[in-house]
Every structure is written in structure tokens, then in C-alpha cells.
Structure 1
């Protein structure tokens, strides 16, 4: 009977998954207030903040810019080699450039034609190296969204594309199957 009474007084830990809205002048001050609250509570033995921290955005933007410069320099070397090969083979001239702000065909149509001609990789690299602003229409989880963005990179093995959302200042990854169409701006 003494064991039974001893078990009733044993303290246990319980895990809760919550979202907390903290009002303050900045994200950093709100985070500081939340951390103080959590650290000063005697009953809280551990915690993990999964989202909402907006610190380090300058570092993140510098890393994205450095990666973009590396990709751009790599593409310039590739295009210089490709142009040397074209001079030797005397390929026919390419079609005239598209007008700015003119909507293009849906990506599925472009992808099919470009994949057959081998132009898709060149199209992606051109947009990456020139840091062009485009608008993607995507469907994710049944929701259609239009995103003004710049293409950061493309992974041909998985058909995944990383884009930088210029309004939200966030990086997103989309599969080509999620992309409906694009508009060059």
C-alpha cells in the first residue's frame, strides 16, 4: 500500500503542442518576451520553438546572394563553351526574344516542347543567371497561388525548383508537377 501512495505523488511530464501570439514592437522583442516567460516558469522543463523566428534574415539573404553569384558565374562559363561549339557547328539563328510582360504558354506546354528539344535546362539557366523576375502559378494542396519570384536553382533529377518569393522574402521548393504556368515580367 505504501508503493501505491508513492506512485500517486510522482510527477510526470506532459507534452503540449501550442501556438502563441505575442504582441510587441518587433519579432526580436516578442521572442525575448516569450523566452523570458518560458525560462521563468518553474513547471516548464524543456521547450522547442519551431517557427516564428525571423532573426538572421540578413545572413540568409547574403547566403542566397552568394549562391546566386556562384550559379551565375557557372552558367556564364557553360554558355561561353556552348557559344564556342555553336560557332563551329554554324547552327541556325534562334527565334526573336519574347516581348516583356507578355504571358507565355502554360509551363506544361513549354516543358513538353522544351524537353523534346533539350531547351528546358537552357531556359531555366537563363532565368537563373539573369536573375529574372517571373510569376509562377502553382497548385499546392489543392490551393492555386500566384507567386512573384526568382528561380534560384533547378534539380533535374527530382524535377524540383527552388524559388525566392520576392514579396514574402522566403525560399520555396516546387515540383514541376505543381507549377501550372509562368509569366515573364
Structure 2
């Protein structure tokens, strides 16, 4: 949903919810949540809290610079105070870099090995060429060179990619 009052669709409805996802790590739970939210039915969403990614790195960086127990406690609390816009900016920068790399593969017609994780943990590993990237839906269209078929994946389903030629 758009935030401006003039841009909200008359058929769009905004809900505020809290969702509990059981998983071994915060990252895996976040991945499950993103898979649930990235559908055509959900037009837009904001994750306001619950993002615990990168906090151990920050704790270790601050612990190395000042070994006192008081500083260590602050190092643990400081990442918790990080704002959601900063986290969103970091995620969007990473996504932009991935999209830029995919666009370069498309322009150069580069053969890549794409690893995709579909629903229920199904992992696909395919040699392909990038045909298109749709920014509005975050869909990546690829041509599987062995099967000679075209596949459509969501950007968040892509686990890894490696240029092979």
C-alpha cells in the first residue's frame, strides 16, 4: 500500500499484525516470512521489528575495541536500538547490487549457474541465461539451457548465482 492518502486503492485494506514464526534462527524465520509476504495478494508491507540480522557482528566489533564489561553491555544494546529504515536501506542496497549483477548477465548473455530455493525447501540448481528482470514484481525470467525451457522466479527465491563462462 502506498503511504500517501491519494495513492491508496479504494479496494486496498491495511492490517497491523504480529506474526510468530518458529525456526532455528532469526534469518530462517525472516526468509519464511518474506516467502509468505511476497505474493500477488500482498501489495506492500513493512517489517517494523524482529530483524536481528548482523547484531553479532556489531557486538564483536565493539567488544574488540573496548574490553570492559560495561561496554560489552552497551554493544549488545546498541544494535537493538538500530532503526528499521537503516536496515531497509542496507537490504535495498544489497538487492540493488544483485539486480545490477543480473542485468549485467542479461546484457552480456552470460551463462550462469543459478541456485533457487522454492517452497517447502526444494532446491534447484540450473544452468541458465537471464532473459528479464521485472522490478515491479521482482520476478527474474531465466532460460534453462539444458531443458530449453523458460522459468520465472521471485528475486527472494534466488539463493546463489555463479557465472560459468
Fold similarity call, TM over 0.5? no
With structure 2 as the length reference, what TM-score do the two structures score? 0.40
Higher-RCO chain (CA-CA 8 Å, sequence separation at least 6)? 1
TM-score (norm 1): 0.36
Structure index of larger Rg: 1
